[in-house]
Amino acid sequence: MASETTKTDVVVIGGGPGGYGAAFYAAERGLNVTLLDREGSLGGVCLKRGCIPSKAYLHATQLIEEARRSADRGISFGEPRINCKAMREWKDGVVAKLCDGIEGLAKKRKVNVVYGRGYFQSSDKLRVETEDGQQYFNFKKAIIATGSRSLIPEPFDLGSSRILTSKEALEIDSVPDRLLVIGGGYIGLELGTVFARLGSKVTVAEAMDDLMPGSDPDLVKIISAAISDLFQEVHTGTKVADLSTSGESLKAVLSRKTEDDEATTEEVFFDKVLVAVGRRPNSDNLGLENTAVGIDDKSFIEADASRRTQDENIYAIGDVAGGEMLAHKAFREAHIAVDAICGDPPLDEPLLVPAVVFTAPEMAWVGLSEEAAKEAGHSVEVIRYDWRSSGRALSIGQSTGITKMVVDADNERILGVFMAGHGAGELIAEAALAIEMATTVRDLAETIHAHPTFSETLKECAESFFGISPHTL
């Protein structure tokens, strides 16, 4: 096999949003860039088996729910007929279109795309195993953007095709009758929602006392109510003590503590199990031991605010470097890393990363929670707006929702915004901009928002700070 050594300014390992974002921006800044992906196409988890396909399914299946609900409004439909193959092909089409788009953009920016596995031989040399043999790259700087993968705890890893992670769950070939979702975080709830809408009886088991552990309790309350309606069973404070195959089925032993602090167990049978208990960083098999890159006790690569690792030539961005595992965070970090490589002054502030959970209704937030704001020394005032007062929300039958703002009472700056409700994922953009722009509640209250829209919920919430919200008391 021929092996050659290519010189490149920057080599980016991983073709997800972080990786291609870094490669494109570096190329725009005039650097010679090589972009590696081990999968034969660009896009990463986000495009191929994460954000995009899950949102495609969520959108497609939302219609089923809407159709059911519309009977109340005098419009009835028959039972939906579901063709999993056609649905999957549609989803694949969406994904392929986006992946091709990314590849086209790479070509236009003269980014050298190489498909293969990268392995550091030193702090300036990378070996790449491609289908055509080994290639070597001498780089000035490397950006690791290898992302993360679903974590399957060993007891659940039975080697059965009935046990799914998000990756397999998004390749829907049939609708299981009984589905157990282990993990009540956003992945479990979003995919559970898809299957529940398609007709599965979904049970979710979450070890912590609430769904969406760590999220704002007011939002979780709303989501929990909606999920309880949609799912067959919601078990919080519940562990899956054992999982085993039992003929055509899977037997799960659900264990939870009673009020008397005694453990009760229950055996339940399922057709499929989705394990959504978390994700782990792809920091292994990269040859990091041949560099000065350091990893923490959870295997995340350690990087500073400029995304530089302990190896001065190597940067790390996105899921593999810890923090929120979100594509948009990785994308921003990509630019920060490239700026640092180009010698720009280091970023001296934490990132403001909005988060969206695409359940129905959606939940979204950005900025400081009440507790975090207090901890940071702010005198905090929290204002709330209930969407039942929103004409728009009522008129589309989506009046379950809440907007919360965490405000610095001293200077009236908005520190955090938390929302649950229809379209919250879109509305959060305004909140993120408001915080970035150091907006005060007065600014937001005096910005005219079109009527009747969901965006008014933000304005009215801000107005409530001054006790002048017209539609609430």
Using CB under 8 A, count the residues that bind other proteins: 22
Question: CB-wise, 263 or 409, nearer to other proteins?
Answer: 409
Among 349, 450, 467, 473, binds other proteins (CB under 8 A): 349
CB count within 10 Å of CB 25 equals 21
At closest approach, how far in Å is the CB of 35 from other proteins? 26
Per-residue binding letters, 408-427, with other proteins (x by CB under 8 A): x-xxxx-x------------
**HEC letters along 257-269:** ECCCCCEEEEEEE
Q: Where are the beta strands (DSSP E) in 272-425?
A: 272-275, 279-281, 314-316, 355-357, 362-367, 380-386, 402-408, 414-421
Q: Does 442 bind other proteins (CB under 8 A)?
A: yes
Among 4, 79, 262, 348, binds other proteins (CB under 8 A): 348
Q: Does 376 bind other proteins (CB under 8 A)?
A: yes
CB count within 10 Å of CB 246 equals 11
From 59, 235, 449, 451, active-site residue: 451
At closest approach, how far in Å is the CB of 376 from other proteins? 4
Q: Does 344 bind other proteins (CB under 8 A)?
A: yes
Which residues lie below 8 Å from residue 71, measured CB to CB, with a gap of 6+? none
State in Å, rounded, how far the first CA of the chain is from the last one.
76
Q: What are the helix and strand counts (H, E) for the chain?
A: 13, 22
Within its chain, how far is the Cα of 103 from the centroid?
A: 23
Q: Does 347 bind other proteins (CB under 8 A)?
A: yes
Q: Does 455 bind other proteins (CB under 8 A)?
A: no
Do residues 48 and 171 lie in contact, with contact meaning Cβ atoms separated by under 8 Å? no
How many whole angstroms separate alpha carbon 452 and alpha carbon 460? 12
At closest approach, how far in Å is the CB of 379 from other proteins? 8
Question: CB-wise, 439 or 455, nearer to other proteins?
Answer: 439
CA dihedral of 392, 396, 402, 407, whole degrees rounded to 10: -30
Q: Does 437 bind other proteins (CB under 8 A)?
A: yes
Under rule CB under 8 A, which residues in 101-120 are in contact with other proteins?
A: none
At closest approach, how far in Å is the CB of 377 from other proteins? 3
At closest approach, how far in Å is the CB of 410 from other proteins? 6
Told to judge if 451 belongs to the known catalytic residues of this protein, a careful annotator would answer yes
Strand order in the sheet with 238-246: 238-246, 249-257, 263-270
Structure tokens at 410: 């001293």
At closest approach, how far in Å is the CB of 387 from other proteins? 27
Q: Does 71 bind other proteins (CB under 8 A)?
A: no
Which residue ranges make up the site for other proteins (CB under 8 A)?
344-345, 347-349, 352, 376-379, 408, 410-413, 415, 436-438, 440, 442-443
Catalytic residues: 451
